Structure 1
């Protein structure tokens, strides 16, 4: 009976140890995901700025080209 109790205690200890490893691993993964999310947010903000600026430049260029064509025709 005592041997059976010791085996159960060891098995529970192994399970607890494995659960502790899983929790630690999950915390590490959460930190990595948070860091990747922060980098991605920065990249998306830069892309939005560049898109807005380039869109404005293209719009101005198109307006100038249309006006030059109108003056050349008219």
Structure 2
């Protein structure tokens, strides 16, 4: 019985160690995901700004072109 109990204790220790490794790994993944999310958010904000600016420039350019065509006709 003692040997069997000792074997169970070792098995539980191995399981506990593996669970600790999984928890640590998951915590590291969460940190990496948070960092990636922050970078992606920054890129998306820059893309939105660039899109808004270029859309504004195109709109103004189109309005000027339409006005020039109206005056030419």
What is the TM-score with the length of structure 2 in the denominator? Answer: 0.99
**Superimposed CA distance per residue, residues 28-66 of structure 1 (whole angstroms, 9 cap, x where no aligned partner):** 000000000000000000000000000000000000000
Q: Map of 1:1-74 to 2, 5 A cutoff?
A: 1-73=1-73
SS of the equivalent of 2:16 reads: helix
Runs of 4+ with >2 A deviation = none
What CA RMSD, in Å, does the superposition of the two structures yield over aligned residues?
0.3
| Residues matched between the structures, number | 73
Segments of structure 2 that go 5 or more residues without pairing to the other structure are none
How far apart, CA to CA, are the structure 1 residues paired with 2:19 and 2:9? 15
SS of the equivalent of 1:46 reads: helix
Segments of structure 1 that go 5 or more residues without pairing to the other structure are none
Give, in angstroms, the shift of residue 25 of structure 1: 0.3
